[in-house]
Structure 1
Amino acid sequence: MYPASYYYRRRLPGRSRGKGLIICLIVFLMFSTGIGLLKLINIQQAIPKFPLLILGQKGENALNLMCSAMPLLPVSIELNDESNNQSSIQLADILVLRLSRVFRLDRQSPIALLEKELPVPVEVESSAVPVMKAAPVLPNPPSPEPEEPRQAQVPTLSEECLMAVYNTHTGETYALTDGMDRLQGKKGGVVQAAAALEEELEKKLGIRVARSDAINDDVYQYSYAKSKAVLEKLLAENSQIVAAFDVHRDAGKSREESIVNIDGEILAPILIIVGSDARAEFPGWQNNYQFAKKLASEINKQYPGLCLGVMVKDGRYNQFLHPRALLLEIGSVSNSTEEAVQSARLLGKVLGPLIREIYENKQSE
């Protein structure tokens, strides 16, 4: 351990003591020779280098600034008179020399001395200040298109298909859409109407449908023979079928006879055809007829005028294969496909509850 006096001598080396003496000397000289320093610096030379907003354009402004920055300067000016100005200037030379050594100032540059002592901003080249580029203005992103509300999934009434739909005269179509009454060897507008009925029953009512869009009328006179095989296959593969519809369109009607206004919308009227035993054995046709009348009544109850009623004919139309097999003529050749499609959707809304009722009654037996 060192003695206390030696410790303090180590903490305060000679150079530090020398600096203290210099500072005291500077304070004394600033007090006694302020006027000499003022004359030496030549404020008039320094003025043009400072911003005009700070120093102004007159020398007295610079003097005021010096007095504000060095509070002892005004006192020194008042105490000194013209008789001792010369000695003050000589002392100022010594002061400037000391200051230049301590603070590394250029004695020939008054501006350097002022920059060290005066609290005023120094000119800075504009290039020294980095200029940030404005961020590019990006266009607002397009608003996302609103999603269509998803319909709640309808519970399926049965995993089995409860309805069969097919087209004996597959090529029958609507002249307002296709410009002709049938598409030979192709699928006409009646196939689209059958598909609309299927969609309404399955997606909105939860009733599964077994539908065939096989072309049966490529050879017209054998159409019912081919569709008979189609219906037999649908019934064999789906033992729970409660009704079977053969979708057609009518012919030989005018435009006025082929339209109906339902809630302000022009639609194609529906005619139900039921076969009989007039030309061939068909002992159960009355069952088909009763079902047809019930369906027609329900249609007109909900959509008055949409159904033209039930017509009984001599042919069997393969209806002997099922007690609730019916032939539906949706519109005529004078309709558009869209009119027939919309009528098929309304038919599905009415048919769904009837199928549900029949199915539930069978399940309770």
Structure 2
Amino acid sequence: MKALRRMMAGLVCAALLFGRAAGEASFDFTDGMPETSETAAPTENPAPTITLSPAFEMTVIRPAAQQHHGAILIYHTHTWEAYRQTDERYQETEKWRTKDERYNVVAVGEALTRSLTALGYTVVHDTTAFEPPKLADAYARSLTMLEQRTASGETYDLYIDLHRDAISSTSTIRRTVNIGGEDAARFMVLVGKGTTGGYHEMPDFAANLHIAELLTDKLEAQCEGLSRDVKVRTGRFNQHIAPRCILIECGTNENTLEEVLCGIPYLAQAIAETLDALEAEAAINNEE
């Protein structure tokens, strides 16, 4: 319970990012996760909820003027990635992993979905478990999902594959930053060049890197150290499927879930500012 109270306090302090003005978002913590695999912003934008355990209700005050438009897809190729055990222990599927969606990256994705919905975005959160039956094939299965959505005509302003990074217990990587007196996990954006694997379809690496750098800058502007440097890899990470595809590492296995959730409202705000910047750039380019 002590750990839970720290988590709630962290979410409250982080939620103040949205400011005191007109408009409210109510976060209701109750047992279980939603059974649906998708969450979309309804037309009247009611107060969003995050579902965790045990029961707890929090109200987030945000300016009504901070309403955005656009569609975002959130999914998790490594769906069962989890965090350091606390007093609220989860049952491990294997080391640092659990299929319990209250404690793995799906819970983080749900929190981000609610924060982005509160900002006005239409968000689809695909909670499909891509890891089973074999972790090594997870990217092939998440690609199938992306291809099916693309074939059905779905398009998004941003595609986010949300992960948890893995580090050793002896790593010198800084785990947290202090935000409003609470410890928040750090984020890292990863983009792939697609130069290994013999792929014919390649990601728009330059465009995705630009998005990653913008997002990193927006996070850093809110709190120095909240973001690690952008990581560039030679793999493809399914980022060829459409424009604006990124992978975000939300904390590491050495972080607690509460530390990650503390930073989620800041991540949502940074995403909104990044999309605003991209829209402004597009408008300038159209005028030229």
Q: Which bin holds the TM-score, normalised by the shorter protein?
A: 0.5 to 0.7
Greater Cα shift, 252-261 or 185-194? 252-261
Bigger share in helix: 1
Q: Which amino acid aligns with 1:276?
A: K
**Structure number with larger C-alpha Rg:** 1
Pairing partner for 1:170 from 79, 86, 90: 79
Please state how far the C-alpha of 1:356 moved relative to its aligned partner: 3.7
Bigger share in strand: 2
Pairing partner for 2:109 from 170, 194, 216: 194
Identify unmatched segments of 5+ residues in structure 1: 1-147
Q: Residues of 1 paired with 2:249 and 2:230: CA distance?
A: 11
CA contact (8 A) 2:218 2:274 kept: no
The 3 A distance-change label for structure 1 pair 299 and 149 is: closer
Pairing partner for 1:275 from 192, 197, 201: 192
CA contact (8 A) 1:156 1:208 kept: no
The 3 A distance-change label for structure 1 pair 236 and 209 is: farther
CA contact (8 A) 1:253 1:332 kept: no
Q: Residues of 1 paired with 2:195 and 2:240: CA distance?
A: 13
Equivalent pairs, count: 216
CA contact (8 A) 2:192 2:205 kept: yes
Please state how far the C-alpha of 1:290 moved relative to its aligned partner: 1.4
Q: Residues of 2 paired with 1:259 and 1:301: CA distance?
A: 16
Q: Which amino acid aligns with 1:225?
A: A
The Cα offsets for residues 18-49 of structure 1, whole Å up to 9 and x where unpaired, read as xxxxxxxxxxxxxxxxxxxxxxxxxxxxxxxx
Instruction: Indicate the residue corresponding to 1:261 in structure 2.
Output: 178
Please state how far the C-alpha of 1:153 moved relative to its aligned partner: 6.0
The Cα offsets for residues 110-163 of structure 1, whole Å up to 9 and x where unpaired, read as xxxxxxxxxxxxxxxxxxxxxxxxxxxxxxxxxxxxxx79867678644xx511
Please state how far the C-alpha of 1:258 moved relative to its aligned partner: 2.0
Q: Which amino acid aligns with 1:175?
A: R
Instruction: Indicate the residue corresponding to 2:128 in structure 1.
Output: 214
Query: Matched residues, percent identical?
Result: 27
The 3 A distance-change label for structure 1 pair 363 and 229 is: farther
Root-mean-square deviation (Å) = 2.9
What TM-score results when the alignment is normalised by the length of structure 2?
0.66
Q: Which amino acid aligns with 1:169?
A: H
Pairing partner for 2:241 from 321, 325, 348: 321
Q: Residues of 2 paired with 1:150 and 1:292: CA distance?
A: 28
Equivalent position SS for 2:213? helix
Instruction: Indicate the residue corresponding to 1:248 in structure 2.
Output: 163
Q: Which amino acid aligns with 2:176?
A: I
